[in-house]
Amino acid sequence: MSAPLRPPVGPVVMKFGGTSVATAERLQRVVGIIAAEHARGGGVAVVVSAMGDTTDRLLDALAAAAAGERAQAEAIAQAIADLALDAGGAALAALGGEAGGLREAVAALMGPLGEVLHGVGLLRERTPQTQDLVLSVGERLSATVLTALLQARGVPATYVDAREWTVTDDRFTHALVDWPATARALSGLRDGWAGQVPVVTGFLGRTPDGRTTTLGRNGSDYTATLLARGLGAREACRWTDVSGVMTADPRLVPDAYPLARMSFMEALELANFGAKMFHPRTMIPLIESGIPMRIRNTLAPDAPGTLVDQTGGTDLDRPTCVTSLEGLALVDLQWRKINQRAQLADRVLAALDRAGITVWMFNQAAHGQAMTVAIDQARLADAQAALAAELHGELSRHELQPLRAQAPVTLLTLVAEAMGRTVGVAGRLFSVLGHVGVLIRAIAQGASERSIACVIDAADTAVAVRTVHDAFNLAHQQINLVLMGKGTVGGELIAQIAAHRETLEADHDLRVRVVGLWDRAGWVFDEAGLDPAALPSARTPWIGARPGDGAVPPDALALLDRARRLPVPILVDCTAADGLAPLYHAAFERGLHAVAANKKPLTGAQGEHRALMDSARRHSRLFAYETTCGASLPVVETLRDLVRTGDRIQQIQGSLSGTLGFVTQALMAGASLSDTVREAQARGFTEPHPAEDLTGMDMARKALILARELGLALDLSDVHIEPLVPPDILAVPDLPGFYAALEAHDPVMQRTVAEARAKGHVLRYLATVAPGAAVPLRVGPVAVPPDHPATQLRGAEAFVAFTTARYRPRPLLVQGAGAGGAITAAGVLADIIRVANSVRGR
């Protein structure tokens, strides 16, 4: 097919869909659009569909007549007439016109319709030919109404019945157009339209002997493109209720937006995969003539819409759009005779074709040993019957496995002109779907290399479409957080997300939203995202158990189910609560990733820890917990890199608590223990009760996490812990009593500091992981020599020294701020970004 050497210079052909002419208000909009184009000069022709749901009502009237329900058929026909008269009459009145002529024109159309319905009732038979004649009334009514309105506006409009020039065969309800005959008929009429605005009925044609036909799905669009080709139009403009071809279904992806431009071939690809916006027949007249099409919104006429032409868009880095064809079934055939080549594909496709079943996707394994077809779920029983009949011999001889069907499924397709020239598209598509737990049932890539498609379970449609849409830069990658805990760390995380929103979008292409907020009191959830600046204070109370009580509340499971339908859902644990492992398991099972600042789920019994890690791996979920060991310091990732590259860890030693680092630093400077702990709490370095920090248990948990990263089979009970102060002080539950006990212990701590200073040593609180040692995990106060890395700590800094086969005798050091809500929240946000980038394959 070749395009003309110069662009057409004829009129604009405008096509208006049924929703665009369904009401008086919308009819007035349409008249305004046509009048404005006519005033510009250059010519305009109009094609119109039936008003609103008129086509469906006509089918209902036909069915009622065929069933002998004459009164019902007449009532439906009257309702159709009333719609045209009410909407058209109101629009005429707004233009200052009279409705008398419109009433006569409508009556002239409805009279013959009544006669046809009466005849159907007498015969109790509805043939395809009769159906086409009945349905033609819809487009004829709307063209009649629109012509009257344009004339009332002062536009020289003329009614044109497409049956005068659209010549087809006699395949009623889905007739094929005879283009040479159509072109001849059109050339004989077009001169008579000079200076006029022809208002043409869409969808309709006629056989050479004059019988009415219809053009099937997208028939009015087809009429418009045929007319554009015949008139040598400069553009075919399809007016609808959306502002162009969207990057995805807006019902599934709220961030979907209209494309500025796409190619004819991309439009054909969309049509092949079920996009309702296009049909292959619709595009052929434009492709053969080189006439561009523009998709525009009747309700937003100033929006540029989407231009469809030979060239398409120029951005080769972004796919065009992602489509989702729902309501399908997948039928699998397995050939049992593996030593013999199966030759069933032609027979399978032919059997389905004879049954009138559309095959949306087909693929087969080498030598035809296995094959899969995707069909409409509504035709599954018909397909199974057709295949069972065709393959009866093979099935009876057990050469084929019994037919297996899966339904409902969805065909998800990524479309782009540059698909075949871009490396890694398929791998990235399957990777991002795997990261959100979407199981791929079948895949296919067409010879055109403009698309890649896969079949997924229907339940995964929303999350799959949103994830693919975001991952391929069709919009900012949306990250949806379910945040547990709005204390020091959680509150700071929310503030940082709000403060850095523009940076996250501009530099990382991420749109991070908090959609759920949980605490012990209850929960709040909004799929549209919570406003960080105005988080609701009210919570919905938990039903029964609360998160952390061991069992997962049923409403928590329901909220996880809601979250999993969003792109890249992440459970973020900023609490210090026990008993949350079951909640993590439930999140992984439902497709959520997890980011944890909470050490306790990671330091349970060995079996629980192993089960948690296995759950994340089994469900292909990402689990990031860098901040459990060193706030925002890259401790866990550094250790993993050492192990990945084959280094042998001999010892890990560090001050893993910014709180205890701050306390011991102040003690060496001469401050009292009680005053130092008060200051640490005031700065937000401690837990609500500082005893939790002084026990050493917090550091023991961190050391255990690192030991388990090395594969050491240890429990928390295996850690030798020496607290900074005696256990009886730590056991005081109320803060005033606790601080009084610390004051009483101040002289003892001062003597300990003096003894260390007398030896030239420095008091620090350290954790030591020593694989192979008799006591592999130790936590406690240590007086270290002046050249020890711990002596360089200042304030609330933390450090970790990795002594390895490569890094000895001088260890690899990781050092920096190790406490504080802002520091830890920054580490949590960094983990969130890492998870998002991993999901996107970055």
Q: What's the CA gap between 745 and 759, in Å, rounded?
A: 22
Looking at this protein, which amino acid is placed at residue 341?
R
Q: What's the CA gap between 139 and 49, in Å, rounded?
A: 5
Count CB-CB contacts under 10 A for residue 433: 23
Q: Kindly report whether the peptide bond that precedes residue 408 is cis, defined as omega within 30 degrees of 0.
A: yes
| Class of residue 438 by CB neighbours under 10 A (exposed 0-12, middle 13-18, buried 19+) | buried
Count CB-CB contacts under 10 A for residue 744: 11
Strand intervals (E) in 106-251: 157-160, 197-201, 204-206, 212-214, 235-240
| Residue whose entry in the numeric block shows the structure tokens 């260390």 | 756
Which residues are CB-neighbours of 1 under 8 A, at least 6 positions away? 284, 287, 288
β-strands 523-525, 762-769 pairing: unpaired
List phi, psi (to 5°) of 612: -65, -45
List phi, psi (to 5°) of 810: -90, 120
791 SS3 class: helix
Contact in structure between 277 and 270 (CB atoms under 8 Å): yes
Q: What's the CA gap between 411 and 472, in Å, rounded?
A: 18
Count CB-CB contacts under 10 A for residue 393: 9
Count CB-CB contacts under 10 A for residue 392: 10
- Point out which residues pair with 596 in neighbouring strands: 573
Return the C-alpha torsion angle 274, 280, 286, 290, nearest 10: 90
Comparing CA positions, the residue from 202, 201, 237 lying closest to residue 220 is 202
333 SS3 class: strand
Q: What's the CA gap between 33 and 608, in Å, rounded?
A: 67
* Element of type H or E holding 458: none
Count CB-CB contacts under 10 A for residue 340: 11
**How distant, in Å, are the alpha carbons of 29, 83, 137, 142 from that of 91?**
10, 12, 20, 13
Sign for the CA dihedral angle at 330, 335, 340, 344 comes to negative
Q: What's the CA gap between 806 and 321, in Å, rounded?
A: 50
| Residue whose entry in the numeric block shows the structure tokens 């035809």 | 368
Query: What residues are labeled active site?
Result: 702
Q: What's the CA gap between 479 and 467, in Å, rounded?
A: 10
